Structure formats: C-alpha cells, structure tokens
C-alpha cells in the first residue's frame, strides 16, 4: 500500500535510531490506521451493499480504496469471484442465445444451443470451484468481530446466494435446452409430418400431434423450473 511503502522508506532513512525503536515505531504506525480503515470498510459494505435491495457489485474508487486500506484486499475476494463469473465461457455462450424468442429462432441457433447444453456440466463445476476458492479465502481472513459480521453478510449477498442459485440454474437450463433440442430433432427428422412457424408447431397426423404434445409438455415442465430460478435471481438482483 502506498502510505505503508512511504512510511517504510522514511524509517529506513533514520539510521541513527536503534532497531528496537524502529520496530516499536513500525508497530504503532501500522496499528493506528486500522480502526479508521475498518470503520470506512464497514460503512462502505453497509451503505453500498447491505442497505440496497439489489445485489449489485459496487466498485471501490481510488479514494475509497485508500480509505479502507488493508481491507481493500478483503473486498477483492468478492469482486474477484464475480469477475470469474462474468469472464466464464458459459456467460458468453448464454449471451449468444439471449434474444432467442421462438422455436424458429432457436432452430437457427441450434448449434449454439447444443454447445451450451454440453458445456453446462463443466460450467457447474467451474462455479463450484470458484465458490470454494472464495469461501476458503474468506475463512482465512483475520477480521475483528464487528467487521466479520458485516463482511459475512455482504459475502453471502454478493457471492454465496448468487452462486447457489447459479448452481441450480445451470442443470435446470441444461434440462430445458435438452427438451427444446429433442423437439427440434423430431421436427427435423419428420419434415413431411411436422413444421414450425414462429413458436407454433403444426402436425399433420394424430401420431405426430401426440408426439409433439408430449415433447411440448416436457419443454413446458423444464422451462417452468428455469423460470422459477430466474424469478429468484431477479428478486436477488432487482433486475
């Protein structure tokens, strides 16, 4: 940290002082800033994270980072986890399907849908590994009790809860995509019996209609599971 570095350089220039005196001065100087830094960090977490309905990730600006001092590294655990999620391959893969609103559009993006479905088990492992790393880093922190209570609550809101929902959403999304792709496969392999117009599937025989209805029921069931989790995510994030 800049102020610590400059303090160390100044102490090193005071060669006339004994090593014991230097040690005492260093200890007192290091301890004097901690209560102020802790108070600033608690205030930041309380006002910018816990008092807000949305589970958003506020950034520490340079002034705030200087004010919280050593505790900026503690906040970096939270922001680091969320950056891992933003940079994860499944996030970009999901984004490519974001504006898909009909079966016809999904048919056009069938390759992307299949790639995402196949990647989601690995994505779940990656989320779990990132959560484990963040949790281990949090556990290893040395924090006074007043800060620990506030930090744990912020970590739960910005890391543990979103990760828990994501670990449910990923397999549910895989099930939904699998159901959609099964329906599209049936349509593709029975071009003389079934056609898609927008989000409507038209069958030309009772047998095809029965099959389509069964596949649509599966799609509906899997989609409902995803919808419930998305509602929980929106409730958490406010979006």
- Give the separation between CA 183 and CA 192, rounded to whole angstroms: 15
* Overall size of the chain counted in residues: 239
Q: Is residue 215 part of a domain?
A: yes
Residue 31: predicted pLDDT: 52
Residue 55: predicted pLDDT: 87
- Give the separation between CA 228 and CA 239, rounded to whole angstroms: 14
Overall number of domains in the chain: 1
Q: Is residue 172 part of a domain?
A: yes
If pLDDT is split at 50, 70 and 90, which confidence band does 140 have? very high
Residue 109: predicted pLDDT: 93
Tell which residue, 35, 82, 83, 39, has the closest CA to residue 64: 39
- Give the separation between CA 120 and CA 90, rounded to whole angstroms: 7
pLDDT per residue as tens digits for the range 62-116: 999 999 999 999 999 999 999 999 999 999 999 999 888 888 899 999 999 999 9
Tokens linked to 72:
């900026």
* Residue labelled with tokens 């910005």: 158
- Give the separation between CA 30 and CA 65, rounded to whole angstroms: 17
- Give the separation between CA 222 and CA 212, rounded to whole angstroms: 15
3-state secondary structure of 216: helix
Q: Is residue 43 part of a domain?
A: no
Q: Is residue 131 part of a domain?
A: yes
- Give the separation between CA 159 and CA 78, rounded to whole angstroms: 6
Q: Is residue 84 part of a domain?
A: yes
Give the number of C-alpha atoms closer than 13 A to the C-alpha of residue 179, restricted to the C-beta side.
20
pLDDT per residue as tens digits for the range 2-61: 343 333 333 343 333 333 333 333 333 445 799 999 999 999 999 999 999 888 899 999
Q: Is residue 112 part of a domain?
A: yes
Q: Is residue 156 part of a domain?
A: yes
Full residue range of the structural domain in which residue 95 is found = 80-237
Q: Is residue 55 part of a domain?
A: no
If pLDDT is split at 50, 70 and 90, which confidence band does 216 have? very high
DSSP letters of 175-209? Answer: HHHHHHHHHHHHHHH-TTTEEEETTEEEESSHHHH
pLDDT per residue as tens digits for the range 153-210: 999 999 999 999 999 999 999 999 999 999 999 999 998 999 888 878 889 999 999 9
């Amino acid at each position: 940290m800049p102020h610590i570095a400059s303090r160390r350089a100044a102490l090193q220039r005071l060669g006339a002082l004994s090593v014991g005196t230097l040690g005492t001065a260093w200890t007192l100087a290091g301890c004097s800033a901690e209560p102020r830094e802790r108070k600033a960090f608690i205030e930041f977490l309380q006002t910018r994270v816990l008092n807000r309905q949305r589970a958003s990730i506020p950034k520490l600006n340079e002034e705030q980072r200087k004010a919280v001092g050593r505790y900026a590294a503690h906040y970096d655990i939270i922001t680091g986890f969320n950056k891992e999620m933003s940079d994860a391959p499944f996030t970009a893969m999901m984004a490519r399907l974001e504006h898909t609103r009909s079966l016809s559009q999904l048919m056009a993006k069938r390759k992307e849908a299949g790639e995402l479905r196949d990647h989601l088990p690995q994505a779940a492992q990656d989320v779990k590994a990132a959560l484990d790393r963040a949790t281990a880093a949090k556990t290893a922190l040395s924090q006074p009790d007043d800060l620990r209570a506030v930090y744990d609550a912020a970590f739960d809101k910005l890391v543990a809860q979103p990760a828990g929902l994501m670990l449910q959403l990923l397999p549910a999304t895989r099930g939904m995509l699998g159901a959609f792709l099964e329906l599209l496969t049936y349509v593709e392999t029975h071009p003389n019996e079934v056609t898609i117009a927008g989000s409507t599937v038209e069958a030309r025989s009772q047998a095809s209609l029965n099959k389509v209805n069964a596949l649509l029921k599966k799609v509906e069931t899997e989609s409902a599971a995803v919808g419930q989790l998305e509602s929980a995510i929106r409730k958490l994030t406010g979006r």
